[in-house]
Amino acid sequence: MRDAFVRALTELAGEDPRVLLVNGDLGFGVLTDFIERFPGNYVNAGVAEQNMTAIACGAALTGARSYTYSIGNFPTLRCLEQLRNDVCYHHADVTVVAVGGGFSYGQLGMSHFATEDLAILRALPDMTVVAPSDPWQAYALARQLHARGGPAYLRIDKSRAGLPEGHVILGEARQVRDGDDAVIFATGGILGEAVAAADTLAAEGAAVRVIDVHTIKPLDAAAICDAARICGHVVTLEEHNIVGGLGAAVAEACLDGGVALRSFQRLGLADCFPDIVGDQAWLRARYGMDRAAVLAALRAVL
């Protein structure tokens, strides 16, 4: 996903000289091609995320189309007030790119788990929040975000759902499995766990709909309400705290839309900080957000 984003950004720099990538001193080897081809569209702000965001914002207010790039919580939580006061309040054309969403850096420890970012960024007025599920989608959504302009947050994680390349439209939830017995809403690469669970249940005769909510904000509330109304049983899946993220957004949409649900289950991190490490798949299993957890949640209600 990360390489797909960088490929999109490299193309965009070739097409649009206003592109400015403000790096937070990361991306060894990953950004080399971009830096060599577009040195005038690149600056490394060093290990200083507040200033990285400020430089990107000041440049954007002066005609640049800015991107900030870092990992985990560094380009979001570390400089949250710069995002709120400077980027969002001024409607500055800044797209924040964080690689390492969720447990991507699962062995590195709590500092590197990005598990509250969706909730916090979603609460910022004027901020678009996107979490692609596959590399092809990261590429397509990066290009669509550029066409739309910032403020935006692009959350890239190391996993991939593994779905075939298809059509994706920024702001439109995407159905990837059909069914009326229950619906799973998922965001990011963890979508693959939802699909695996749905496919297992399909073999057992249950038709579970799966919807890829790659755009958390603005939320496609109409599509979410339609699916929830038809299916009745709702499961949300996110590599993120269950507080404030996708599950909360879906719950808000359903309540706002007057959708009466038969059941509602949020799968994700249960409002805690993991104090152990492991790879992404292991941590998903340990914290109840893998395919087995999805299966258990659905079997409890179907």
Partner 1 sequence: MKIEPIAPPDTVDLALRLRRHVVRMCSRGGSSHVGSCLSMADIIAVLYGDTLRVDPTDSSWAGRDRFILSKGHAGACVYAALAERGFFPLADLDHHYANGSNLSGHVSHKGVAGVELSTGSLGHGLGIGAGMAFQLRRMGGDQRVYVVLSDGECDEGSNWEAILFAAHHRLGNLCAVVDYNKLQSIAPVAETIALEPFADKWRAFGWAVERIDGHDHQALKVALARSGQADRPTCIIADTIKGRGVSFMENQVLWHYRSPQGEEFAAAMRELGVEARDA
CA dist 73 to 20, 49, 101, 231, 243, Å?
A: 21, 10, 8, 35, 17
Could you say which of 4, 9, 45, 297 contacts partner 1 (CB under 8 A)? 45
Per-residue x/- track, 57-96, partner 1 (CB under 8 A): xxxxxxxx----------------xx--xx--xx------
Per-residue x/- track, 239-268, partner 1 (CB under 8 A): ------------------------------
Could you say which of 29, 39, 40, 258 contacts partner 1 (CB under 8 A)? 40
Integer Cα distance of 133 and 6 in angstroms: 16
Rounded to a whole number of angstroms, the minimum distance from the CB of residue 91 to partner 1 is: 10
Q: Which of residues 144-203 bind partner 1 (CB under 8 A)?
A: none
Let me know: does 66 contact 80? Beta carbons within 8 Å: no
* Nearer residue to partner 1 within complex by CB, 83 or 235: 83
Rounded to a whole number of angstroms, the minimum distance from the CB of residue 154 to partner 1 is: 20
Rounded to a whole number of angstroms, the minimum distance from the CB of residue 81 to partner 1 is: 6
What is the DSSP pairing of strand 174-177 with strand 208-212? antiparallel
* Nearest Cα to Cα of residue 108 among 72, 144, 57, 141: 72
Let me know: does 220 contact 173? Beta carbons within 8 Å: yes
* Nearer residue to partner 1 within complex by CB, 95 or 159: 95
Neighbours of 47 (CB within 10 A): 12
* Helices within 92-165 (DSSP H only): 117-122, 135-148
Integer Cα distance of 214 and 147 in angstroms: 17
- Contacting positions for partner 1 (CB under 8 A): 20, 40, 43, 45-46, 48, 50-51, 53-64, 81-82, 85-86, 89-90
